[in-house]
Structure 1
Amino acid sequence: MSKRIFVLLILLMTLSLVGIIFVQAYYINGSLKTEKARFRFTVIGDVTNVANTLSREEVAKYYNEYQSLDKEKKSDSATVSQLLIYQQNNSTKETLIYKSSILEENYKLTSTLFDIGLDSLDIKNIIGTSSTEIYRNDDLTDKDFKENPIKSIMESGAMPDAQFLLFEKSFKALQKSTPIHKRVSENEIRDLLTKAFQEDSINLDFEFAIYDRDLATKVQSDGFEYDKESNFSAGIFPDEGDKTRYRLLVNFKNDKKFILSSMLRMILLSFLFTIIIMITYGGALYQLIKQRKISEIKTDFINNMTHEFKTPIATINLALDAIRNPKIIEDKEKVVRYLGMIKEENKRMHAQVENVLRISKLEKNELNISKERLNLHDLIEDAITHVELIVEDRKGYIKTFLNAEKTSVLANESHFTNVIVNMLDNAVKYSPEAPEIEVYTENVGTNILLKIKDHGSGMSKAAVKRVFEKFYREHTGNIHNVKGHGLGLAYVKRIVEDHQGHVSVESEKEKGSIFTIKLPLIS
């Protein structure tokens, strides 16, 4: 996959993920707005129904009292008119009603007028100077009574529904002068609101109040707070013209939480699936980048392996060509020398193949590693013999500081020797000048530490983190000044871990490296 296609693929995947998250957020936000509107519509409907119920029940209560009167009292307008006293106030143009010549309260109607349920009488205004005039039954003209709707009801012989409508209109005209706290109680409002909200599954604590043209009345619950934005309201107790000065207001303390909770399951599922998509995307992106790096590493590995095989193959071909030479074939000493070179190069290629196969078997857990009690110092000395000739040839040295007193470990002789050889060989390869290698051992608690220190080229911090990965080599392009294929240290890590040990490295560019193996001791 080319770099341009790879970048384009990542860009499209990222754009798709951002788009999905945006659409999801937009959908949830729209759903929240819809749910909020539905909640508001439901609450306003409930508040309006309660307000209408209170208004209807007030009229019905007095109408039922009127209907309960016997026939003679209903038709006796004199019984009603003798109890009426009119007062005209020029400043307010309100009709004030006295009962037994005693004013109960300005601008209100007594709640049990005349003890016969007829406080709904539509009393006409008498325009004149500010005074109190007393009219008795014998002073009232027929015109006065004809203008009285109740008298009209009594004389009209209308059907009950028509009578109720006339009664309701008269009642509303007079009741608008009655103080609101005399018309309805807090308990009535609370009971009706609670019932209405429960029917719509709104189980929230609420507060309420009745306001008169934005002014608070005595009818309100203790915790009510006026907020024009969050209050739900409806008109209550309309007058004869279906207009009202009063509004029933309701508010909730946790309505936002309630709206959110109604969508909680959908929000959680959306959030969960979004997280899954993001994790999947992250995993896919990680795998793509990892596969791309592995592809690059494998390319380097193939190049290095080709180079590793190219040299011995060329050497073998040259040796074979030399042996074919009639002059050389008769020289036994040269023949033996060339045959030795062929054997060594063959062994070298065989070792490279074995490393690859060994790692493959380790990955599949097919490598059978039997362990026995061994002396770690003996393994170190044996491993050093494999590389000391190379070190001496490059004018270097290997110094040992084997200070550990306890050295018995449970290990596989062949594999653990290969581990130490690989680490020593690594130290030699990454020493541009004469190799200077130091080997240390020491006891730490119930463990033994083996440290191999070199003074070579060292590694970058990025390389230190990945040096034990399979096929990994610090990227140098197609430069093969350091031979290898990124399998030696991966093999070291797997074998050490199979021996219940731990391997680590400390390194700094141009200052060398220290590889440390920690193994458990056995008694």
Structure 2
Amino acid sequence: MGKKLFILLVVLMSLSLIGIIFVQAFFINNTLKNEGKQFTSDVKRSLISVSRGIEDKELLSYDRLYKEVVKNGRTPDTTEIRQLLIYDSFDEETNQTIRFRNAISEESFKVPALFFDIGTDSISISRFTNKSETKVYERSAIDGKINLNPIRKFTDYSTLDDISRLHYKMGYHKVYKNYPVYKRISNEEVSELLESQFAISGINTAFEYAIYDKDLSTKIRSENFELNPESTIGIPVFMDTENKSDYSLYVDFPERRKYLLSSILGMIVLSIIFTSIIILAYSSAIYQLIRQRQISQIKTDFINNMTHEFKTPIATINLALDSIKNPKIINDNEKVMRYLRMIKDENKRMHAQVENVLRISKLEKNELNISKERVKLHDLVEDAITHVELIVEDRKGYVKTHLNADKSSVLANETHFTNVIVNILDNAIKYSDNAPKIDVYTENIGTNILLKVSDQGNGMSKQVQKRVFEKFYREHTGNVHNVKGHGLGLAYVKRIVDDHQGHISVESEKGKGSTFIIKLPLIS
């Protein structure tokens, strides 16, 4: 996959994921707003019922007062017809005329002030009665005239129907108009009405309430009520015949947002879970894509390096063989031996490279059998130095030892751990452009021994230090190939050190050299 196509796929996938998250957030927010509107609508509907309940309470109270007046033997002062409705209807099948008559009558009383605590000597009370009357007349089949004597008559009286309620209200409103609101209704009654109506509407959350006289608070209020223009919902109460009132009932819900969120909590939780799964799957897919791309690049570099490493010794061997075949050379024993040694060295070099690859492969599969025994770490250091000292001397450098540890007995595999030290020394030599200058230190720290290998070579950046122990990783040097290798040596070193229950780290600064530190447990 090309780099541009890979980047395009990542960008498109990222935009799609972000789009999905935004769509989810939009729907949740939209649902929350709709829930809020529905909640407000339910509350207003409940408050209308509460307002009607408060009104009915006063109507019933007014009605009881009227009955008390009648019970005491008082008679109405006047009677007034407030509404009169007459209309006829003819039934062709029965040849009858039906006349409907509807009227509202008002009866007024004078009542002493002892019934009310409003500071007057007496008040007027009006009793409204709705009277409906139906008469049936027979029409003559000959001349079509109506017989004025009804053949049937129906009369009905009602005191609190929809028609008379309005007129009845006129009477009690006169009585209670200037009455203090806390004497008209109590906190307990308002609270009970609100609770019952909210329960009917399915609103199960804490609320605070208050009745205001215009902009002034009254004694009818809950303890923690606060008027909040954004969340408080209100409706007029104690309305007159023109549906006007100075009083308003306000309700506020302190936990409104929490209540609304709880109503869509299931959807939010599922949305978060599924979105999280998508994000994790997407992140994992992107990581794997990037990782596979890196591995592909590393493998390509490895093949290129391996080809180069094998190409040189093979070419050298071929040249040596061609030289030996030369009749002038084949009789020269000294030159023949020289070319044979060259062939052997190059063959040994290729064998070492193959062994490195095989070791790493076996370590990855846990097939490498590493037996351990008691050894002196100082002895392993001295042995490793002998493997590289000729190369160091040839380049006019040095390897100095500072073996200051009093105890150096460790449980290790002699062969593999010697290879570890040789690999580190070999890196110090390869990454020194000038004469390699290497110092090897040991010291005891508690029950452990530290082995430090310091050089004054090229050093490495912080980014390289983080990845230097990864398999196949090599620092990019552009088209410069002065340092050969496959990125396997330090990966092998780390695996062997880890297998010995040790720890390896590196301290380095670009242009000032590197120090590899190995920490191993001592044995008594």
- The normalised TM-score by structure 1 is 0.82
CA separation in 2, counterparts of 1:64 and 1:159?
22
Higher strand proportion: 2
CA separation in 2, counterparts of 1:161 and 1:52?
20
- Identify the residue that residue 174 of structure 1 maps to in structure 2: 171
Quick check: 1:409–1:521 contact (8 Å CA) kept in 2? yes
- Identify the residue that residue 379 of structure 1 maps to in structure 2: 380
Quick check: 1:97–1:109 contact (8 Å CA) kept in 2? no
CA separation in 2, counterparts of 1:513 and 1:460?
10
Quick check: 1:172–1:238 contact (8 Å CA) kept in 2? no
Residues 108, 56 of structure 1: alpha-carbon distance in 2 compared, 3 angstrom cutoff: farther
Residues 101, 337 of structure 1: alpha-carbon distance in 2 compared, 3 angstrom cutoff: closer
Secondary structure (helix, strand or coil) at the match of 1:159 reads strand
- What amino acid sits opposite 1:193 in the alignment? L
Instruction: Identify the structure with bigger relative contact order (alpha carbons < 8 Å, sequence gap 6+).
Output: 1
Higher helix proportion: 1
CA separation in 2, counterparts of 1:322 and 1:304?
27
Residue 198 of structure 1: how far off its partner (Å) = 2.8
- What amino acid sits opposite 1:337 in the alignment? R
1:428-477 deviation digits (Å, cap 9, x = unpaired): 11111111111111111111111111111111121111111111111013
Residue 356 of structure 1: how far off its partner (Å) = 0.8
**1:295-310 correspondence runs (5 A):** 295-310=296-311
- What amino acid sits opposite 2:422 in the alignment? V
- Identify the residue that residue 520 of structure 2 maps to in structure 1: 519
Residue range with higher mean Cα deviation, 13-22 or 406-415: 13-22
RMSD: 3.1
- Identify the residue that residue 137 of structure 1 maps to in structure 2: none
Pick the aligned partner of 1:79 from 66, 69, 75: 75
- Identify the residue that residue 198 of structure 2 maps to in structure 1: 197
CA separation in 2, counterparts of 1:489 and 1:400?
22
1:195-243 deviation digits (Å, cap 9, x = unpaired): 2223444333322233344444443334333334322223334434555
**1:210-225 correspondence runs (5 A):** 210-225=211-226
Secondary structure (helix, strand or coil) at the match of 1:39 reads helix
The answer as to 2:106 corresponding to 1:99 is no
1:349-396 deviation digits (Å, cap 9, x = unpaired): 111011011111111111111111111111111111111111111122
CA separation in 2, counterparts of 1:483 and 1:446?
38
Residues 158, 205 of structure 1: alpha-carbon distance in 2 compared, 3 angstrom cutoff: farther
CA separation in 1, counterparts of 2:117 and 2:64?
25
Residues 168, 2 of structure 1: alpha-carbon distance in 2 compared, 3 angstrom cutoff: same
- What amino acid sits opposite 2:10 in the alignment? I
Size of the alignment, in residue pairs? 472
Identical residues among aligned pairs (%)? 59
**1:247-266 correspondence runs (5 A):** 247-266=248-267
Residue 514 of structure 1: how far off its partner (Å) = 0.9
CA separation in 2, counterparts of 1:299 and 1:411?
35
Quick check: 2:109–2:125 contact (8 Å CA) kept in 1? no
Secondary structure (helix, strand or coil) at the match of 1:80 reads coil
Quick check: 2:62–2:172 contact (8 Å CA) kept in 1? no
Secondary structure (helix, strand or coil) at the match of 2:126 reads coil
Residues 371, 482 of structure 1: alpha-carbon distance in 2 compared, 3 angstrom cutoff: same
Residue 487 of structure 1: how far off its partner (Å) = 0.4
Return 5+ residue gaps in structure 2 as ranges: 79-107, 135-153
**1:110-509 correspondence runs (5 A):** 120-121=125-126, 149-150=128-129, 158-161=155-158, 164-165=161-162, 167-177=164-174, 178=176, 179=179, 180-509=181-510
- Identify the residue that residue 86 of structure 1 maps to in structure 2: none
CA separation in 2, counterparts of 1:368 and 1:13?
46
Secondary structure (helix, strand or coil) at the match of 1:500 reads coil
1:311-338 deviation digits (Å, cap 9, x = unpaired): 1000110111112112222223322222
Quick check: 1:304–1:480 contact (8 Å CA) kept in 2? no
- Identify the residue that residue 46 of structure 1 maps to in structure 2: 46
Quick check: 2:113–2:119 contact (8 Å CA) kept in 1? no
